[in-house]
Chains A and B, each alone.
Chain A
Amino acid sequence: MSGWRSRSAQFLLALLLFLLALPWLGPAGAELLPATGHGRLMEVCLLILIYVILALGLNVVVGFTGLLDLGYVAFMTVGAYTSVLLYRQPEWQFTGSFFVVAFIAGLHCALWGVLRGAPTLRLTGDYYAIVTLAFAEIVFLLVLNESWLTGGPSGIKGYPPIALSYQEAPARQVELRLRVSPDPRGSTPENPSGLTAEPSFTPQDLWLGELSPDASPGLRRRYERSSPDSGAGPELRFRNWDGQMAFVELEAQAPWVVLGSGVIDGESPGSAVQIPMEGREPGAFLKPLIYWDLALLSPGEYRAEIRLEPRFARQVLKDGTPGFFYLVLLLALITLGAVTLLHHSRLGRAWAAIKADPVSARSCGIQVGGEKMIAFAFSGFVGGVGGSLMAFKFLIVSTNIFDFWSSIVVLCCIVLGGMGNIRGVLIGALCFIGLGELLREPYLFAGVSDSTRAWVENSGGIVKQILSVKEEGVELNLARTRYLFFGLILVLFMIFRPGGLLPPGGRGKPLLPELRQRLTALAGDLFHLRKDPPGA
């Protein structure tokens, strides 16, 4: 027992060291996932770690307390949108560190966990599962339809990456010049003013825009710039030039906010600076708007000044950087520690008793409702933090990311690993998410004979979905059919290992010998290899 224990401790230590070293593995790591290289390996590990957090949180309700929750995505959604909206609301001027954001998102979800749990305390089994499913659907529909807040189906994007701390930076002055000159083509139906305008900005480092090639001249010009590092400065856009009005939209990406007012030099009728703007579309931050009505302007140069008072994020952690990876690793370890402590505490035993037999738990003096509420709140909290991490991983939140399937993925991690067993949940997340990402990778088989090539080329159906002929060989790509494999794996588990890889309470027989025994038994049944036992 103790030998095994120390072996597992060694294994965990080795795993931790590997994860700590992962961002610095460099080209050596590229060997492991050849198709897309080292960055991909770290990304996969990061995703696994996020799912470890989520699965550990869901496991508190499903594995410890024994209530099937099919709607965990509700908490992920609420957590993700809460943290994103916190940063996005310019009125709040929120400049908290990510830890504060994640904590608020977690608390918000814990509140919803309690609100969902309170009326359903008497429900168990399928009935409880249905309620959780319905709750997730309500959240889904709310997010989808309340577009004023959530951006609706297109979701929210363009918010800043995680920042661990903020510092004040000095205010900056932006000067905008608009040179208005007569259009050589004169007045046209598209451009009745017969004027054309060219904007320019100082200082130049705030403006890296290019005229997008699809903009038809005179009618609609669009400057787009994607900043390499949104935390480094505000992003300015010349947005909408429609021939009658010249709109200059300064899109200051948070954490920069436009607080000071702007002035237009040489006030002329039909020009103004609006701060803050109205009709902000979801997904964008403060957009101060400067507009000139060309119908009221004469050729010449116009000048506008805008003052930017930034809240500058000092430590920005973006997806794909070691910092972000370590942050997720840290949170996963904290969650693991908390869940382990809870599992082996008086509270954890109360949960296990409720799972085993609520009636006799009650007769042992356990306040079943209260202990369940703690489980709901904690599970919701972890789900909120996990959802918040997902929001900063993908840098977009939308109903496409947080759909019913996400609940099922988290649940599958638990079922696969062993419901209620913490180690099992870790292994389940590793296997299920890792496998899912592995199946996305294309694999190239070089040196394939011509007949095989021809066969691949001429076959249809599923073969065509997973195999394709490339110049160097035949490529196997399971990305589109990976859900098939998930289904197959789950079916195999229901047959061979209904308790998961590591069932709770150490009830599972050792994995490999059992598997061999099962497979030989199956083969024996199939091919009548087995002799009847003596005396039968």
Chain B
Amino acid sequence: MRDPAHILEAEGITVQFGGVRAVAGVSLAIHEGSITALIGPNGAGKTTFFNALTRLVQPTSGRLRFVAAEGEVELTTMPPDHIARAGIARTFQNIRLFTDLSVLDNVKVGLHGRTRGGFWRALAGNRAEEQRLTGAALEYLDFVGLAQREAEQSDSLSYGEQRKLEIARALACGPRLLLLDEPAAGMNPQETQALVELIRRIRRAGVTILLIEHDMKLVMRISDFVYVLDHGELIAQGEPALVQKDARVIEAYLGPQYRPPAGEAN
């Protein structure tokens, strides 16, 4: 780590799909304990960057250094499940819950990487351990406000509740860095407000957050730092207020001809 305050440093991350460079040499750093936003127009490579971080795709080149609980690790050579155990959990743009499982079991799956017990332990029928897991899972459900719904099938929840459940499942992995991929997508203003509160509470619990979001109001309200991607490249970075005025950002979102009307640019 070049800076001890960083929890993650990405250096020249490139993801190439055939002839397409989805992510082109992105270097960024995330401060521990911060809420960092990754924004950009559709197709800018934000989700691909997340996938490279969690190794759901293999970055073509670049380095990813992450400070796990037990020290610094290089993510580009780790399998995805190890990355989750090292302390990076994520949610997905299109919700990916385990729809066959109950709400409670979804969170218990999240606890998987932090617990032990394979085949023989299962045959021994470890009831005390199961009860401990249930207790822990209920705490996470309570944290996101779903404790009353534990027994339901996860796909019977509303859209907003499914998002919350996905966050609870990610938190159950015990992350140091939580990646949220468009958590506010499809939410009404009340739900978005509740989400902002939830994200702040997660940060207060000591989890660093990196989020992709299209809802600019939300981004401006909660993020400490913003990175802007366009066509796979990092075009701007800085505090939210500064990024908002950046000419390249405006161009990326609105096109080169756009000139903000006098007095309205803020």
* B90: interface (CB < 8 Å): yes
B81 and A367 within 8 A (CB):
yes
Q: Which residue of A lies closest to B133 (CB)?
A: A346
Report Cα–Cα, A342/B81, bound state, in Å.
Answer: 21
1/0 per residue B92-129: CB within 8 Å of A? 10001111111001001110111101110111011001
A365 touches B117 (CB 8 A): no
B56 contacts chain A at the CB level, 8 A cutoff: yes
Question: In residues 74-95 of chain B, which contact A (Cβ within 8 Å)?
Answer: 79-81, 84-85, 89-90, 92
Q: Is B223 an interface position by the 8 A CB rule?
A: no
Q: How far is the CA of A344 from the CA of B115 in the complex (A)?
A: 15
- A365 with B119: in contact, given A346-B112, A352-B105, A353-B101 (CB under 8 Å)? no
Q: Known interface pairs A363-B84, A364-B109. Does A352 touch B122 (Cβ–Cβ under 8 Å)?
A: no
Q: Are B119 and A366 in contact (CB under 8 A)?
A: no
- The interface residues of chain A lying within 8 Å CB-to-CB of B29 are none
Residue in chain B with minimal CB distance to A344: B130
Q: Is B153 an interface residue (CB 8 A)?
A: yes
Of B84, B90, B98, which one neighbours A352 at CB under 8 angstroms? B98
Instruction: Kindly state whether residue A378 has any CB partner on chain B within 8 Å.
Output: yes
Are B123 and A356 in contact (CB-based, < 8 A)?
no
**Bound complex: CA A505 to CA B114 (Å):** 25
Inter-chain contacts of A353 with B (CB < 8 A): 98, 101, 109, 112
Kindly state whether residue A368 has any CB partner on chain B within 8 Å: yes
The one of B54, B81, B90, B99 that contacts A368, using a Cβ cutoff of 8 Å: B81
In Å, the complex CA distance between A359 and B94 comes to: 12
- B118:A364 contact, CB within 8 angstroms: no
Is the interface on chain A under 10, 10 to 19, 20 to 34, or 35 or more residues? 20 to 34
Interface presence of B163 (CB below 8 A)? no
Question: Given contacts A349-B101, A356-B100, A507-B153, are A365 and B125 in contact (CB under 8 A)?
Answer: no
B80, B100, B133, B172: which contacts A504 (Cβ < 8 A)? Answer: B100
Q: Determine if A357 is an interface residue (Cβ-Cβ < 8 Å).
A: yes
Instruction: Say whether B119 contacts A341, CB under 8 Å.
Output: no
From B80, B114, B115, B129, A362 is in contact (CB under 8 Å) with: B80
Q: Is the CB of B122 within 8 A of A359?
A: no
Determine the main DSSP class of A at the interface with B. Answer: helix
Most B CB atoms within 10 A — which of A345, A367, A368, A505?
A345
Report the nearest B residue to A347, measured CB to CB: B122
Say if the beta carbon of A355 comes within 8 Å of chain B: yes
One digit per residue, 1 when the CB lies within 8 angstroms of any chain A CB and 0 when it does not, for chain B 177-191 equals 000000000000000
Which residues from B are CB-within-8-Å of A344?
130
Q: How far is the CB of A335 from chain B (nearest CB, A)?
A: 12
In the complex, B173 has a CB within 8 A of chain A: yes
CA distance A347 to B120 in the complex (A): 10
Q: Are A346 and B115 in contact (CB under 8 A)?
A: yes
Q: Do A355 and B100 have beta carbons less than 8 Å apart?
A: yes
Q: Map CB proximity to A onto B27-71 as digits: 1 under 8 Å, 0 otherwise.
A: 000000000000000000000000000101000000000000000
- B112 pairs with A360, CB closer than 8 A: no
Which residues of A, 357-413, contact B by the 8 Å Cβ criterion?
A: 357, 359-368, 374, 378
Taking a contact as CB atoms under 8 Å apart, the answer to whether A350 and B109 are in contact is: yes
With A360-B96, A362-B81, A363-B89 known as contacts, the answer to whether A348 contacts B122 (CB < 8 A) is: yes
Q: When the two chains form their complex, are residues A364 and B84 in contact, meaning their CB atoms are under 8 A apart?
A: yes
Contacts A352-B105, A362-B56, A363-B56; A505 near B100 (Cβ below 8 A): yes
The 4 tightest CB contacts between A and B, nearest first, are A365-B113, A345-B122, A365-B84, A356-B98
Cβ contacts A to B, 25 pairs, < 8 Å: A341-B123, A342-B122, A346-B121, A346-B133, A347-B117, A350-B109, A352-B100, A353-B98, A353-B112, A359-B56, A360-B92, A360-B96, A360-B97, A361-B98, A362-B84, A363-B54, A363-B90, A364-B84, A364-B112, A365-B81, A366-B81, A366-B109, A367-B79, A374-B118, A374-B119
Interface positions of B (Cβ within 8 A of A): 54, 56, 79-81, 84-85, 89-90, 92, 96-102, 105, 108-110, 112-115, 117-119, 121-123, 125-126, 129-130, 133, 153, 169, 172-173
